[in-house]
Structure 1
């Protein structure tokens, strides 16, 4: 049986269609996912992301523990800032991609994907055993609400006294919203400006309703997981289980920059990732593909070279609501990875031409 989010009754009242996502009953859409997608690009969308995992690390050696457990150098993150990073296994395979907030000198919040939350918490506990730190999985107690889109700052500004001008991208601040204590972060997964609000589960409905009221004059609409996926795809952001997995390293996904090798205690997977970093020619790399027409390649569809031979696999694909043509992410050999390279995809027996392009597909106006 799927676990309901703290906002389940709110979603039911809004007429949401639900889907099981990593054991959670989450809103897939409220009406038209196309309309929800376009609202995020032009105004704002309100998302329930309470399925995500939240794990706190507290103690004098929290920074050292995370430096060892993750590929990033979290000791270099200043309080109030956040960092995108990953947790890898000893072979360098990605167990999950994470956002880590440094809340104080000795306190961090690790945010994991829903499907991996328990495994990440268990791995962090195991890897932190030799350090003076406490690992607390708070996923069941914390709700996460996101406001994403060009009008998100105006909406958040109407319900909090936090200085949003001083809140940079990938930064957070404890504040109050609708009279409740929250952690407000300027982060997101849509390619737009936006905010994520961490709040105790029982208070989530009050925060949601306050944001709904504040967003009414700014075009805010509730938005489900379906449009969140097309938004992140347009922004070229990886999804665990598609572009990332235990059989892939950060370097395969073009994210080798998140791996930091200058750490005093080393880290889990370091030797394997050093070998991958130093490899002369990687076996595969992640690229963007654009097509024509209305049919989009989907996850698992073959990528073909000019002679029709299968050379790669689509990891994510959709008809882009913003751009009006098919887009996809795919793993292909380095030799055919340069922007402008002509390839094709097999869409259920139909060979459709595509071109390799530089990511992201969409970038919000400056």
Structure 2
């Protein structure tokens, strides 16, 4: 696995016997014991993930909030200090460069958390766009580690070593404080559909934090979890994966992210979305379920009679629902609920239908 980056916790994963795989330019654990065990531990109890491969880009300066508001489709100026927004970031053609979280410390400081495989691309894009604004853009990804603690028992377990009252942190809010005596940013967010926290800390402190959390897991029937469980958990909760369910050729409206677009403000790519609103979208990301045996996978073609009408963007066997589930990009008018379609699996067409999502709703808190 030459030239792959490693997180500060790489040796810890090896020590725990994890199966390591390449992911977005990084060598990451796909599982430790089994995907299913880790998935179920997070759904029912608690799991911890190394997400230090994610990127952190710091925006500071007089016009930080104003600049971020122009950069992304969601509205960072409408949220309070200590709150977070999820948002697509678009190119001039309205395609999604990345989806990210914007952490608003103040009007002069916003932290952007971006996808691992897009760090360099995003940083260069943000730097270029920042030229007209009074801001400093710093890529702090290499100094920052991130650990996600997810599951219905996440709060109870983390509270044991937290100097902060975690009950006081609402969903999509964050604070700074100490966990296990280590200074962190503590955020009530996650990518699993369960309640939980994402902890950002200095990379030098990652190993003692990870070891303490591993020690606590057994008490709560929890497990360390790899990318395999992270993917099945996020798909059940219908959280999108960049590169699969959205790309720089897919608009937020096509990806079903209209709720994360504020058309009342100005942002890069808005012109395309205005046109799209006028003429209507030509395709849409939707959930599907199989009516016959077969697991739909990324890239499989979808037909109605003999017309190709779309493709699978993400698909798996759901460990919680014990049936295959998938997201598909479907052409108009075939994305309507209950439309029957056929997925081509290994040369054979298998019946499926369009359904309402999310596929599964866990212990994740509601937005206020």
Q: TM-score range by the shorter chain?
A: over 0.9
Q: Return the offset for 1:214.
A: 2.4
TM-score of the pair, normalised by structure 1: 0.96
Q: CA RMSD in A?
A: 1.3
Instruction: Give me the whole-angstrom Cα distance separating, in 2, the residues matched to 1:225 and 1:158.
Output: 26
Q: How many residues matched? A: 362
TM-score of the pair, normalised by structure 2: 0.96
Q: Return the offset for 1:292.
A: 4.6
Q: Return the offset for 1:9.
A: 0.8
Instruction: Give me the whole-angstrom Cα distance separating, in 2, the residues matched to 1:165 and 1:277.
Output: 40
1:1-366 aligned within 5 A: 1-263=3-265, 266-279=266-279, 281-292=280-291, 295-305=294-304, 307-364=305-362
Structure 2 unmatched runs, 5+: none
- Check whether the contact 1:89–1:246 (CA below 8 A) recurs between aligned residues: yes
- Check whether the contact 2:193–2:363 (CA below 8 A) recurs between aligned residues: no
Q: For each residue in 1:98-140, what CA deviation from the matched residue of structure 2 results, as whole angstroms up to 9, or x when unmatched?
A: 0111123321110000111111111111111121111110000
Instruction: Give me the whole-angstrom Cα distance separating, in 1, the residues matched to 2:277 and 2:170.
Output: 31
- Check whether the contact 1:294–1:319 (CA below 8 A) recurs between aligned residues: no
Larger deviation, residues 269-278 vs 41-50: 269-278
- Check whether the contact 1:159–1:214 (CA below 8 A) recurs between aligned residues: no
Q: Return the offset for 1:215.
A: 2.5
Q: For each residue in 1:328-362, what CA deviation from the matched residue of structure 2 results, as whole angstroms up to 9, or x when unmatched?
A: 10011231222222212111122211121101101
Instruction: Give me the whole-angstrom Cα distance separating, in 2, the residues matched to 1:23 and 1:351.
Output: 34
2:77 aligned counterpart, secondary structure = helix
- Check whether the contact 1:292–1:326 (CA below 8 A) recurs between aligned residues: no
Instruction: Give me the whole-angstrom Cα distance separating, in 2, the residues matched to 1:210 and 1:365.
Output: 24
Structure 1 unmatched runs, 5+: none
